[in-house]
Amino acid sequence: MKKGLWTLIVLVLALLPVGCGSSGSQGQTKNSAPTARQTGETSDGKVVKLGIIQIVEHPALDAARRGFLSTLAANGYEEGKNLQVDFQNAQGDQSTLQNIARKFVQDKKDLILAIATPSAIAMANETQDIPILITAVTDPVAAKLVKSMEKPGTNVTGTTDMNPIKEQLAMLKQLVPAAKMLGVIYNSSEVNSQVQVRVVKQEASKLGLTVVEAPVTASSEVVQATQTLVGRVEALYVPTDNTIVSSISGVLQVAEQHKIPVIAGESNTVEAGALGTIGIDYYKLGQQTGQMALRVLKGEKPQDMPIEKQKDLSIVLNARAAKAFGVTIPEELKKKASKVIE
């Protein structure tokens, strides 16, 4: 009898935790606890290891990075909780870039953001397995990152920053109608710059502009290259070139001194002192890339995701720069601008 009573007590005690656990589980269902998708967590609670590789620091690329991370944060990926961010800047050095790419592969990152063409090429050369999101890459096909814009066919997808050169040069003629000779400073070793210069030549000829090239291979050559254009051109065009944009203050100093108006490939260069642009917003471009990253994290394959362009372009003008260059901005152009820097 005692033995039977003891056995019954043990069974009751054993069942108590199960009953409590069941009750707690029902409570969570009623309270609608956040799902893994809402919190940004993977189904197994894994922390996402994100590597960000950037060729050099300058406002446009930095803005793209911030935009990308803001999208992840808005969708539940919080650094230090379910997101581990490893940001590495090569400071313009190619060998450093390659070392960063190699280290990211060794560290087995879950996802990589490659900012600008050199970063994307370095990263794609190191891995065909880890998903790579690119941004601020002018021509992913020419850079051999993807097979086509519509169907990448590789572990790479993301956004292009190919700028509307035709519209930018048309605006240049509106601002500087007397211009006949157009100087273009660019890094001749960067694929994205080579692509842009080809388009500039094609579109400039339609507007009666003759292009004078000033190629460089390093940032230390930029100011000297700008000086070689003095007396030979009536306007300058600065493409979305990492080397040139990172040294833009020197370009603008020479240009202002000699009253040579500068049209930029993107708005951050206008903020720095160029006359104007019709172009993309790199922060928004980064946000758009972040949306693509969310799709990859949910299981989509980069090889099936088309490369995207920014849908909304904007006119940005710099009235202070116009005064320095001796240019009058037409009122009708000001009315169309999304931003005029006074």
pLDDT in tens, 198-232: 999 999 999 999 999 999 999 999 999 999 999 99
Q: Is residue 27 part of a domain?
A: no
Same domain, 217 and 329: yes
Domain that holds residue 204: 165-279+313-341
Using an 8 Å Cβ cutoff, are 63 and 290 in contact? Answer: no
Q: Is residue 18 part of a domain?
A: no
Helix count (H) and strand count (E) of the chain?
14, 13
Same domain, 335 and 216: yes
Q: Is residue 23 part of a domain?
A: no
Same domain, 244 and 327: yes
Give the per-residue pLDDT at 44. 55
Q: Is residue 36 part of a domain?
A: no
Q: Is residue 217 part of a domain?
A: yes
Give the bridge partners for 156, in sequence order.
Answer: 132
Same domain, 169 and 245: yes
Same domain, 189 and 259: yes
Residues 6+ apart with CB under 8 A from 74: none
Q: Is residue 293 part of a domain?
A: yes
Q: Which tokens in the block code for residue 73?
A: 């944060």
DSSP, collapsed to helix, strand or coil, labels residue 79 as strand
Give the bridge partners for 150, in sequence order.
Answer: none
Q: Tell me the HSE value of 192 on the side-chain side, using a 13 A CA sphere.
A: 26
Give the bridge partners for 314, in sequence order.
Answer: 279
Same domain, 202 and 109: no
Whole-angstrom Cα distance, residue 147 to residue 150? 9
Whole-angstrom Cα distance, residue 277 to residue 337? 10
237: left (phi over 0), alpha (psi -120 to 50) or beta: beta
Using an 8 Å Cβ cutoff, are 313 and 278 in contact? Answer: yes
- Domains: count for the chain: 2
Give the per-residue pLDDT at 261. 98
Same domain, 275 and 319: yes
Same domain, 100 and 185: no
Using an 8 Å Cβ cutoff, are 173 and 144 in contact? Answer: no
Q: Which tokens in the block code for residue 52?
A: 């960000």
Q: Which tokens in the block code for residue 310?
A: 């920014």
CATH number for 115: 3.40.50.2300
Same domain, 273 and 337: yes
Same domain, 193 and 112: no
Instruction: Choose among 291, 292, 249, 293: nearest CA to 274.
Output: 249
Q: Is residue 93 part of a domain?
A: yes
Give the per-residue pLDDT at 328. 97
Residues 6+ apart with CB under 8 A from 162: 138, 139, 195, 309
Give the bridge partners for 157, in sequence order.
Answer: 133
Same domain, 175 and 157: no
Same domain, 188 and 324: yes
pLDDT-flagged residues of the chain (< 70): 1-44
What's at 342, amino acid-wise?
E
